[in-house]
Amino acid sequence: MRVIDEQFVTPVLREEDLLRVNKFGVMMTRSLAENYPYTVFYKADIRGAKGEWLQLVDLLETGEVNAESALQYMIYLLIKRSERFQSLASKVVELAKQKASSLKTPEDVLRLMTKHMANPSMPAARLLEITMHSLLQAVEEMRALGDTELRPLSQMRQANKKAGNLADVELATAGAVVEAWDAKFGKPYLYDELLELGDKLEQEMWATLEIVGFVTDQEPDLREDVRAQMEEIQNQFEIEVAILPLSDWVYRQVARVPSAERGSLAPKWLIAYAESLALHRTLKAPIDEPTEAWLEALEGMLS
């Protein structure tokens, strides 16, 4: 099933923009990689219309529903859903462009994005990553990254491991990562993450790294053991290690832009954020999760 999905089903769905799913296919999910039939007794805890899908599978197996007709109808539904998404995405991007003119400072944009993340129905951890990445997209557009280049947004944690990424947001020079920042939502105490970071940095591929850090949505817990571990990594690998709250990290990135040009940064940041969620920047921000609900929430805030 994994081979069929990864080589045939998923590529078509992605190419035709019918369904947002990671490039490795849905069957890479461990909960779907079980060796028992997909029936009402299927043990995996799957969100969504599990009961309806099970009923459809039963109807297909008994011949009460024609498989080809069912497939054609499902494709039709996906096409109509895709059309609705494109309409919503265009509307939100236009609203963001209109709103951008009234946001004078990065602090204004940060407040809006923080409110978006705070929505209980939103995937806050993922939105934190996109918030950070979209800011650096804006900084890069203003040619304020020097000779470094912003690498594409990581698609998901599993994909990060396959791709060999160190962090969610990375800057590279001549293809070699020199700066890396990992978003940590709801985790102010990061001692274990620092231990894991130290192990990763043993690999030769990170020898070019100059700055590495974590960004938290709240004030980080910098107790003594955390500070000691940070210092140990800094001394061992001769790099800068930082743990910053999101607001401090934002100020650090804003400082890259010349003072006289910073007035343009806030609008560019909001537009980059909206266009990323709208899937208008798939080369720089390849997001495979369904973002329709994210856009609907943002639309309500921008209207």
What CATH number does residue 122 fall under?
A: 3.40.91
Question: Tokens 């769905």 map to which residue?
Answer: 13
CA 294-262-100 angle, 5° bins: 35
Mean pLDDT of 93-116: 96
- Domain stops at, among 79, 111, 144: 79
pLDDT-based confidence at 212, cuts 50/70/90? very high
Contact by Cβ (8 Å): 290, 121 = no
Residues 51 and 193 in one domain: no
Q: Which residues of 35-64 are buried (b: 16+ CB within 10 A; e: fewer)?
A: eeebeeebeeeeeeeeeeeeeebeeeeeee
Residues 235 and 293 in one domain: yes
pLDDT-based confidence at 9, cuts 50/70/90? confident
Residues 140 and 26 in one domain: no
Residues 62 and 190 in one domain: no
Entry field: residues in the chain: 303
Residue-by-residue DSSP string for 151-172: PPPP--HHHHHHHT-SSSEEEE
More confident call, 290 vs 220 = 220
Bridge partners, 39 (sequence order): none
pLDDT-based confidence at 48, cuts 50/70/90? confident
Mean pLDDT, the chain, whole residue set: 90
Question: Is residue 56 predicted with pLDDT exceeding 70?
Answer: yes
Q: What is the pTM of this model?
A: 0.85
Residues 133 and 157 in one domain: yes
Residues 232 and 290 in one domain: yes
Question: Is residue 157 predicted with pLDDT exceeding 60?
Answer: no
> What is the C-alpha separation between 142 and 129, in angstroms, rounded?
20
> What is the C-alpha separation between 190 and 129, in angstroms, rounded?
17
> What is the C-alpha separation between 245 and 54, in angstroms, rounded?
45
Write phi, then psi, for 219 (nearest 5 degrees).
-65, 125
Mean pLDDT of 9-25: 74
Give the H/E segment covering residue 148: none
Mean pLDDT of 135-144: 98
Closest listed residue to residue 78, CA positions, set 301, 292, 232: 292
- Domain stops at, among 25, 54, 79: 79
- Domain stops at, among 57, 79, 101: 79
Question: What residues make up the domain containing 55?
Answer: 2-79
Instruction: Give every CB contact of residue 244 below 8 A, 6+ residues apart in sequence.
Output: 213, 214, 215, 216, 220, 252
> What is the C-alpha separation between 180 and 128, in angstroms, rounded?
15
pLDDT for the residue numbered 32: 60
Output 278-286 pairs: Cβ under 8 A, ≥24 positions apart: 278/89, 278/90, 278/92, 278/93, 279/20, 279/89, 280/89, 280/93, 281/137, 283/152, 284/137, 284/150, 284/152, 284/153, 285/130, 285/133, 285/134, 285/137, 285/152, 285/153, 286/152, 286/153, 286/155
Residues 251 and 102 in one domain: yes
Question: Is residue 158 predicted with pLDDT exceeding 60?
Answer: no
Question: Is residue 11 predicted with pLDDT exceeding 70?
Answer: yes
Q: Residue 249: exposed, middle, or buried by beta-carbon count in 10 A (0-12, 13-18, 19+)?
A: buried
181: number of Cβ within 10 Å: 25
Give the sign of the dihedral formed by CA 197, CA 198, CA 199, CA 204. Answer: positive
Residues 98 and 145 in one domain: yes
Q: Determine how β-strand 149-150 pairs with β-strand 176-184.
A: unpaired
Residues 96 and 49 in one domain: no
pLDDT for the residue numbered 14: 78
> pLDDT per residue over 251-262, tens digit each?
999 999 999 999
Residues 263 and 232 in one domain: yes
Residues 28 and 122 in one domain: no
Q: How many domains does the chain have?
A: 2
Residues 62 and 205 in one domain: no
Question: Is residue 167 predicted with pLDDT exceeding 50?
Answer: yes
**Would you state the structure tokens that stand for residue 17, as one six-digit string?**
């923009």
